[in-house]
Structure 1
Amino acid sequence: MANGQEKEIKLVSTPAGRKKLLQLPLVKEKLIAGSRHELALVNRYYDTRDQKLTRTGMAYRIRRTNGKAFEATVKTRGETVNGFSARQEYTVQLEKEQPVLVGFAPQMDEKLQTLLTEDELLPLFTVEFTRKVALLQLTKSTVVEVAVDTGSIQAGDSTEPIEEIELEIKKGREKDLLRFTAALSREIPLLPEERSKFQRGLALLTPDRGLWQKQARYSCEAGMPPEGAWRGLVAASLGGALDQLEQRRRDPEGFSLEEYQEQLAACRGLWQLGEDFLSGTSWQKGDTILQGLLKLPFDQQALPEEKRLEDLLARQEGQPLQEAAQWLKRQGAELEQQGSRYYAQAAAAGLWQLLYLSTLAVENQEVQHLGDLRTRYWNKWQQEARLLSESGNPSPLAARENMALLSGLLVLEEALSGSLGKKKLVKAGKAYQAAWYKVCRTCAQIEAYQAGAQKERVRRLGFALCYAAGWESAGVEKQLKKAEKAGKALRKEIQRHAEISLG
């Protein structure tokens, strides 16, 4: 008999990412000698005819390993956020593939026998897959099992492929796992898989019943320490952004860049509220990541400058320019795809890093409840809004910071069901934006804005050159600097030809 709490992160990646995972230096350097092996697994899930176990929040599974060893496991419904799940599980070894109701743990045995007194456990569906497994020593105190699963779910006449990665804590700390996941996401594309194999099988059997639905986001339990409540809200908000990226992977046409950026704005607003719980270094690092994420234009229309340059060069005479035009034409489609993939991976890596940083939140004696935080920052926001009416030269940076703070207050208000009121906050934000734009129109900043727009065009051109040069593996900040340098150098060279303009 074995029982305890299962803590794991379930992830999806590209075929190349799954193949590359166990060969990464980051993984190899932490590999425990002799722990790598491969298993052939068959999971068969059971329930009563009217699905009593499922409706009670339990899953019953019998697993066959390498065609001979059997074990029965009962799992309880846990919490899943950003692919990270924590739930109780109880396991007992079997002589043959036949469900049993005893041997797990006294409290679970009693619950099963009471619930299933007059019912028979029947097969629901089968999951058959190959698992490549290894143990990693992340830190002195944390050991994680990494598993790459490939196979299929068979439920009645329906099937669905299994192509996922699991990182399960065997012993140690959650923050070590999140830190490792953040590092891993910089090497291969990683997005959370919120659904367990059991949930996916149920969805194939009963697509319209909505069993085991995802829990609502943005809720704070009564009595929860404020730093824990803030950490939970941040995790849920970051999870929303990761969900958007997963939606983009599954259905690019259904991806909404606007909704994704709104989710990031909420993340940044919450991060501003968390300055009381993090060290200055951790908070600043997270804020910098969020600012960078908000600037990543990874939609398909994000790289227009190389097409503009191609059109301009194509109209020129002279062999060097013609060769440049031909080269750009060959690179065009690949450039967009490569850039789009890199943006998405960089965004996911940044979000995983933020998840890790949020686990570093600690108690602050000056904050007894999140409501205190909400009141203080709402007063601060109102003060900034009043200053706007007195200013003759508003700062675009200050306006962006204030709107981000309001996004965080909106999330906090929704979670606390407080007295400020969501409509009141939205109305205040719209009034603030309108006032800011009105003042801006009266300021002599048009030239500065034009210069900023020109710099943005240079930056986009630099990004295009980055991808063409194969720099996609570099870090985001390093890549930005290289991109801008390359873009400026090319612009300087082109400006030597009076007949060409990038304006």
Structure 2
Amino acid sequence: MGREIELKLSVPDDALAAVSGWLDQHGEGHGEVTMLNVYLDTPSRDLARARAALRLRRKGTQWLQTLKTVGHSVNGITARNEWETPVPGEAIELHRFPADARKVLAPLMTQLGPVFRTDFVRRLWIVEQDGARIEAALDSGTIRAPGVAAVERIQELELEWLSGEEERAEAALRALGERLRAVAALEPSDLSKAARGYRLTTPN
């Protein structure tokens, strides 16, 4: 099981050039990749009610299955549990998850189906901040749901702690966020892509 700690910042159109330029100057570029994602749940939204999210992602030619479970988010900083394993194609393979993840998913497997998609292009940098190694991911794309005409736009920067002293991870993320906010009008966001997708599928 991995522990994901990240700071999410929304990026307005007029801030894109400033953000990417600052990261080009202060970070180590790691290229660009297209992420094609489908989120799955039961018709009664058992995973959403448990504050969990199950995703299949195509990253280049590789497929990954990911389960994220209960976390907390305050002023853009999110910490949660995450299990991710490669799979051969666009299908959940329960046996490839570790035991804790299988325990969550096993009772639901026969009911799982696609709920919404989040497809985006991601630009990546690695930045050093206060002894921490942080991945900066600039995402641009859309969130769509079957049978829903509305489309949500994705334009956000995710700063994810990769290594360093975990007890200082939040402080390092916030410090890097403040450096970026000094050059562009960025705002913390507590809504994950999954939360936004579920919101899109829920009638007002």
In the superposition, the TM-score normalised over structure 2's length comes to 0.91
Q: CA deviation at 1:28?
A: 4.3
The reply on whether 1:7 has 2:5 as its aligned counterpart is yes
Question: What's the RMSD between the two structures over aligned residues?
Answer: 1.6
Contact 1:73 1:91 in 2 (8 A): yes
Question: Matched residues in 1 for 2:112 and 2:67: separation?
Answer: 13
Q: CA deviation at 1:111?
A: 2.7
Q: Helix, strand or coil: the match of 1:50?
A: coil
Question: Matched residues in 2 for 1:18 and 1:167: separation?
Answer: 15
Q: Look up the match of 1:62.
A: 56
Q: Look up the match of 1:427.
A: none
Counterpart selection for 1:138 from 98, 122, 129: 129
Q: CA deviation at 1:36?
A: 2.2
Pick closer, same or farther for the CA change 1:120–1:69 going to 2, 3 Å. same
The reply on whether 1:199 has 2:191 as its aligned counterpart is no
Any gaps of 5 or more consecutive residues in structure 1? 209-503
Q: CA deviation at 1:100?
A: 2.0
Q: Helix, strand or coil: the match of 1:102?
A: helix
Counterpart selection for 2:184 from 152, 163, 188: 188
Q: Look up the match of 1:160.
A: 152
Q: How many residues align?
A: 198
Question: Matched residues in 1 for 2:33 and 2:144: separation?
Answer: 19
Q: Where is the helix percentage greater, Structure 1 or Structure 2?
A: 1
Q: Helix, strand or coil: the match of 2:177?
A: helix
Contact 1:62 1:97 in 2 (8 A): yes
Q: CA deviation at 1:43?
A: 0.9
Q: Look up the match of 2:116.
A: 125
Contact 1:46 1:124 in 2 (8 A): yes
Give 4+ residue runs of structure 1 displaced > 4 Å after superposition. none
Q: CA deviation at 1:22?
A: 2.3
Contact 2:18 2:183 in 1 (8 A): no
Q: Look up the match of 2:36.
A: 42
Question: Matched residues in 2 for 1:207 and 1:195: separation?
Answer: 18
Question: Matched residues in 1 for 2:198 and 2:104: separation?
Answer: 22
Q: Helix, strand or coil: the match of 2:111?
A: coil
Q: Helix, strand or coil: the match of 2:96?
A: coil
Contact 1:30 1:138 in 2 (8 A): no
Q: CA deviation at 1:104?
A: 2.2
Any gaps of 5 or more consecutive residues in structure 2? none
Structure of higher CA gyration radius: 1
Q: Look up the match of 1:110.
A: 103
Question: Matched residues in 2 for 1:28 and 1:161: separation?
Answer: 24
Q: Helix, strand or coil: the match of 2:92?
A: coil
AA at the equivalent of 1:187 = V
AA at the equivalent of 1:198 = A
Question: Matched residues in 1 for 2:197 and 2:72: separation?
Answer: 18
AA at the equivalent of 1:181 = G
AA at the equivalent of 1:127 = T
